[in-house]
A and B are shown apart, each in its own frame.
Chain A
Amino acid sequence: MTSTRRLAAALACALAAVLSGSGCAVIPVGGPFPVDEAGSGDSVTVPFQRMVAVEPKKEWSAQQVVEGLQAAMAAYGDDPSILPKYLTEEARRVWKPDGAVTVIDNAFRFDDIVENKEKKETIVTILGTKIAQINEDDTYVPVAPAEDGKVTRAITLVKDAAGAFRVNLLPQGLLLTDADVRRAYRPTNLYYLNGTSAGDREPDRLVADRVRLRVKPTESFAQTVVERLIEGPTSALEGAVGNEFPVKARVRSIRSSEDRVVINLAGPFTADTFLEGLKAQLRASLSYNKLASGRTLEVQIDGEPFSVTGPLVIEPSLPEKWLGSEDNQVFYTSHGAVQMMRGDGEGEPLVGPAGQPGGDHSGFAIAKDRDRVAARSAAGGIWVTRHAAEARWQESIPGTELTDPSWHRDGTLWTFDRHNGQVLRSHPAVSRGPEHVAAPALQGMDVTSLRMARDGVRVAVRIGTGQVQVGALNGGGAGAMLSNFHLLTMAERDDKILDIAWGDGDHLLVLVQTKAGQVVKEINVSDGETTQLPTTSKLLTSLAAVGEIILATTEDGKEILEFARDKQTWIPKPATAVDGPLFPLG
């Protein structure tokens, strides 16, 4: 074989190998084969759309310029460079975007345009209804239906040298429509701890703090959430909850891969950081906002493992401890005795004096581990008995005009002394109390009901029958104080708020008697988001709830109705002659 022929043969072989290789490169048929689990891509961002502001055109009318200004306000968070182009020099100097954001409904309109020829001004007035405002701490405060939310914003325009309208005078702050807010903001739950690791007892529950966060195009939403989480709670929970992130902590980056999200933080983390709490805060604040779901979180400090012992890894599921599945055993009172509802729906009297009928006690409350029952005596004062055969009623808080007692999860018993206008607290287990707890916001208020939430942080008070306020238990031990109160709901004119009951940590059920009938509202205490439950033809007298379960008693039949969420209707329970349903705590 000559060298040429050998070479030709070698080339033919190479060509055949390449061609056969490329010929086989089609999708192979076969299977089934096991498939690797793959995540759905990026788990730390949310899809969102933004308003894109455009610069004003010379030919635009005054109203169009105001519409453009409106769009520029909506886009201001993303691109602050356009809005000033709508303003005159003077307006640019005077106007500030800071402060609360006013949210008006989508149905705003423009009033008749007024032209002041003397001043060469054109005034365009926006007429709308304020539906909420977003405060600087990101809380979303809806306008109560009872309030008059009419908004009138007069905007003064002048023509510039080129003959185009420019805004010369406008109210301070941003004015957004509901659509703008829905587009750019996301309702977000931030989770804090019901206490601090440095306090009397270790935190065991997460407390949700609801904010509206603006989605930033330049960073992942997870980063926005964690940054806001680090900043601390809103004014509603300030001082009342624990935040395991140090004040100067910040987020360097958040990277997402198929099965892991790496959170790179910076800041003065110390060795005594309560890691369990920090992990729970991060996990809950991301997962409950549908971020990093199903993925392991890894926390790094300045790109290094969290501690010398290794990386801080947070599993995809939140530990059971923090989930706080509360005791959902149903109790009810009947003829002055507390009954425990068995599985078949029938009642079984409690062991001990609380289960004895015929007493003159009312307003029963069951402590956390069902070990104690408190009630208001007709003779006055709050009395407590243990859940045992030999137990006796003992007076825990004396007084004449006390509200129904409410147990705190730490074993303290709370009530409001209407006579003296102060909040009282006792600790029956250690025979301490009663003691006065400061509540400056409640001074002079007609508090008719005081309920401690099951997370031990929030407190709801009914003022008269007209409004409900929610506050928080601030500080611990002797320095405890009820503060941060804000209006949650207000009855319109002749309506009456009949009862309140805590569902979970951030939902309060309110039973309202209106002229048209009764209404049960489930209100998110953080942002006032209200769900109105379907009504029943039967008149309801009292509410009790835990988690998703909502119970009410009827006035006439003295029966217990349970709200079935799936069917959106009230279903009666077998027990009869019921005064009111009860759950431990709440």
Chain B
Amino acid sequence: MGRVRRVWRRSLQLQVVTSTLVISVIVVVVLGAFLSDQINNSVIEGRQQSAASDASADRLRIADALTREQDDQAKPADAKNVPANPLDEVMDAIIGTGGDGSKTRYEVLILNRAEPGQSRASGKVTPRDVPPALQQMLRRQAEKFIDRPQRSTQPIRFAGEAQPTQTLVIGAMVNLSDGYEVYHFFPISDEEQMLSNVRLAIVVVGFGLVLLLAAIAYLVTRQVVSPVRLARQAAERLAAGKLDERLKVRGEDDLARLATSFNEMAVNLALKIHQLEELSQVQRQFVSDVSHELRTPLTTVRMAADLLYDAREDFDPMASRSAELMQAQLERFESMLADLLEISRYDAGAADLDLDSVDVRDVVLRAIADSEALAERHSTRFELRLPNEPCLAEIDNRRVERILRNLLFNAIEHGEGRDIVVTVGADRDAVAVAVRDHGIGLKGGEENLVFDRFWRADPSRARTIGGTGLGLAISREDASLHGGWLQAWGQPGEGSQFRLTLPRRAGVDLKGSPLSLVPPEIEMRRTWRGHQMTPVLLPAVGDGGGHDVD
């Protein structure tokens, strides 16, 4: 059902053809009913008129014969050669009895119930075949001395016939005072057959017409919809980055102009994108060049600063403090420059992996050892949760250690002195390291922003441990280079957790992580509350509220 609805909503052609079908069915039905009714009326009316005129002529002859009969009876009876009853003669004349003359197509019944021997019938009609309502109407009229003919149409099953025949019966009184009822029976089965054929023809033609209209609508809409569909597909390909996608232009109609406009748009778009790419390239190159160019004077400045720093005790306190400050800022400047160079290597696509099979636990321990001094300064303790088994993986030792270091520094900086939990997990395909702090946490939507370059949750806050603002960005690039994921989770007041997942073998795609992104205690609390929250599961996307890292 849903599929049908989807097809219906997405296919303009289907909508047009269906609408055409529905409307043409309505039109054809109305028109067919009207036509059928008109033909019915004219055929039946024509038949009724001719029948009425036949019946009327016959009644005149019968009335004439009956009048003669009365005249004959008035005369003295001639014993010899009495002619046959005038009724017989008139019936012979009406129905063509005996001769080769054309047979009438109707039957006649003369009925006189009051007089013996004065009733006649032709063919197989009997008094029982007269519709009772017609007979009663005639008698009611006769009582009021009205002799208006009446007709009635109905199926009558004549004696010896298996099926009833549709018959038009016209009845009238002749010689009202003597009570002669004359009925004419006109079979109208031929007309019925004809009308039935006409009706069938109308139905067949109507059906054909509806199909024809549907086919026409299909063809016409196809002419319009096909180019639109091609344009849509081209736009989709263009959106997917295939900037050289173009539409064929045929003719000069609206659709051709649409294709021309589309192609112009694509050309302009490609041009703009190309210009932007070039600009971006120039900028990256500029950063890289600036970084390189800054190193040489910086080295000189550093050497001079080192001399000053080493000799600071000889300076007055003010100068000594300045030398210290300069030393510290120079270190930070160097770090920043190193990070800029590193990230410009990524931008230039020049970053390589130096893979080695390493136990990740050792890497974690080294990273913690490197961070302990800082942790102590922040009164922060590490809680390690390492597996007993070695967690071997093909990784670049240096880069992973840098990632971990960045994560730990970040956790220390934002952990507000609370414990930092480092968990290592492994399964058949992947190893993972999760760093959990219990600091201020991340706001919604910040899980991805934390990995942006120079991003800061609260710009007014100073970088206390001297991060460059590129640490997490570089870490994510490192993780991506391994084919791994670096993801972040955080909630305001609940702290945050960063999870690094790496494949055990380089080049193998990750299917999942051995560790949960959401810390287990948070997950359990959610379950208890019975309230479902969608865990953020974004590949290679992390977060960090206010985590800017060094």
Please determine whether B117 and A70 come into contact, CB atoms closer than 8 angstroms: yes
A47 CB–B CB distance under 8 Å: yes
A479 CB–B CB distance under 8 Å: no
B82 CB–A CB distance under 8 Å: yes
Assembled-state Cα–Cα distance A392/B111 (Å):
76
B95 CB–A CB distance under 8 Å: yes
User: B77-113: which have CB < 8 Å to A?
Assistant: 77-85, 88, 91-92, 95-98, 100, 102-105, 108-113
Which one, B104, B116, B122, contacts A50 given CB within 8 A? Answer: B122
Among the stretches A5-13, A442-450, A536-544, A549-557, the one at the interface with B is A5-13
Please determine whether A50 and B20 come into contact, CB atoms closer than 8 angstroms: no
Given that A49-B92, A79-B126 are known contacts, is A60 also in contact with B83, CB under 8 Å in the complex? no
A14 CB–B CB distance under 8 Å: yes
B154 CB–A CB distance under 8 Å: no
User: A17-52: which have CB < 8 Å to B?
Assistant: 17-18, 22, 40-42, 45-52
- Give the chain A neighbours of B91 by CB distance below 8 A: 49
The residue of chain A having its C-beta at the shortest distance from the C-beta of B12 within the complex is: A3
Please determine whether A11 and B23 come into contact, CB atoms closer than 8 angstroms: yes
Assembled-state Cα–Cα distance A10/B79 (Å):
84
* A525 CB → nearest B CB, Å: 23
* A188 CB → nearest B CB, Å: 13
Please determine whether B124 and A60 come into contact, CB atoms closer than 8 angstroms: no
B31 CB–A CB distance under 8 Å: yes
Assembled-state Cα–Cα distance A55/B113 (Å):
8
Given that A18-B209, A49-B92 are known contacts, is A106 also in contact with B120, CB under 8 Å in the complex? no
* A420 CB → nearest B CB, Å: 48
The residue of chain A having its C-beta at the shortest distance from the C-beta of B119 within the complex is: A52
Please determine whether B24 and A10 come into contact, CB atoms closer than 8 angstroms: yes
B204 CB–A CB distance under 8 Å: no
Among the stretches B49-57, B213-221, B309-317, B327-335, the one at the interface with A is B213-221
* B328 CB → nearest A CB, Å: 74
B127 CB–A CB distance under 8 Å: yes
- Give the chain A neighbours of B85 by CB distance below 8 A: 179
Assembled-state Cα–Cα distance A51/B127 (Å):
11
User: B207-266: which have CB < 8 Å to A?
Assistant: 209, 212-213, 216-217, 220-221, 224
Among the stretches A61-69, A308-316, A325-333, the one at the interface with B is A61-69
* B28 CB → nearest A CB, Å: 8
Please determine whether A106 and B117 come into contact, CB atoms closer than 8 angstroms: no
Please determine whether A10 and B20 come into contact, CB atoms closer than 8 angstroms: yes
Given that A15-B27, A54-B119 are known contacts, is A7 also in contact with B109, CB under 8 Å in the complex? no
A409 CB–B CB distance under 8 Å: no
B159 CB–A CB distance under 8 Å: yes
Please determine whether B221 and A6 come into contact, CB atoms closer than 8 angstroms: yes
Q: 0/1 per residue, B1-36, Cβ < 8 Å to A?
A: 000000000001001100110011001100100010
Which one, A11, A51, A178, contacts B117 given CB within 8 A? Answer: A51
Given that A15-B27, A52-B111, A57-B114 are known contacts, is A182 also in contact with B84, CB under 8 Å in the complex? yes
Please determine whether A14 and B24 come into contact, CB atoms closer than 8 angstroms: yes
- Give the chain A neighbours of B100 by CB distance below 8 A: 290
The residue of chain A having its C-beta at the shortest distance from the C-beta of B101 within the complex is: A47
Please determine whether A47 and B95 come into contact, CB atoms closer than 8 angstroms: yes
The residue of chain B having its C-beta at the shortest distance from the C-beta of A293 within the complex is: B100
User: B108-151: which have CB < 8 Å to A?
Assistant: 108-117, 119-124, 126-127
- Give the chain A neighbours of B97 by CB distance below 8 A: 46-49, 183
How many chain-B residues does the 8 Å CB contact rule pick out?
A: 60
A360 CB–B CB distance under 8 Å: no
Which one, A11, A45, A64, contacts B27 given CB within 8 A? Answer: A11
- Give the chain A neighbours of B16 by CB distance below 8 A: 3, 6-7
Given that A7-B23, A49-B122 are known contacts, is A54 also in contact with B112, CB under 8 Å in the complex? yes
Please determine whether B119 and A109 come into contact, CB atoms closer than 8 angstroms: no
Interface centre among A13, A22, A41, A107 (most CB of B within 10 A): A107
Assembled-state Cα–Cα distance A106/B16 (Å):
83
Assembled-state Cα–Cα distance A228/B334 (Å):
136
Assembled-state Cα–Cα distance A105/B221 (Å):
88
Assembled-state Cα–Cα distance A71/B85 (Å):
12
Q: 0/1 per residue, A264-299, Cβ < 8 Å to B?
A: 000000000000000000000000001000000000
- Give the chain A neighbours of B216 by CB distance below 8 A: 10, 13
* A84 CB → nearest B CB, Å: 16
B459 CB–A CB distance under 8 Å: no
A53 CB–B CB distance under 8 Å: yes
Please determine whether A47 and B103 come into contact, CB atoms closer than 8 angstroms: yes
A217 CB–B CB distance under 8 Å: yes
The residue of chain A having its C-beta at the shortest distance from the C-beta of B13 within the complex is: A3
Which one, A10, A17, A45, contacts B217 given CB within 8 A? Answer: A10
* B291 CB → nearest A CB, Å: 61
The residue of chain A having its C-beta at the shortest distance from the C-beta of B94 within the complex is: A49
Please determine whether B120 and A42 come into contact, CB atoms closer than 8 angstroms: no
- Give the chain B neighbours of A50 by CB distance below 8 A: 120-122
B160 CB–A CB distance under 8 Å: yes
Assembled-state Cα–Cα distance A68/B197 (Å):
48
Which one, A3, A17, A22, A41, contacts B221 given CB within 8 A? Answer: A3
- Give the chain A neighbours of B103 by CB distance below 8 A: 40-42, 45, 47
Assembled-state Cα–Cα distance A57/B19 (Å):
72
- Give the chain B neighbours of A17 by CB distance below 8 A: 209
Please determine whether B122 and A14 come into contact, CB atoms closer than 8 angstroms: no
- The contact sample of 15 A-B pairs, CB cut-off 8 A, is A3-B16, A3-B19, A7-B19, A14-B213, A42-B103, A48-B97, A50-B121, A53-B119, A56-B116, A70-B116, A71-B119, A107-B78, A179-B84, A182-B88, A217-B159
With A3-B15, A18-B35, A106-B83 given, name 10 new contacts (CB 8 A).
A7-B19, A10-B213, A11-B24, A15-B31, A18-B209, A51-B120, A68-B116, A109-B79, A179-B85, A182-B88
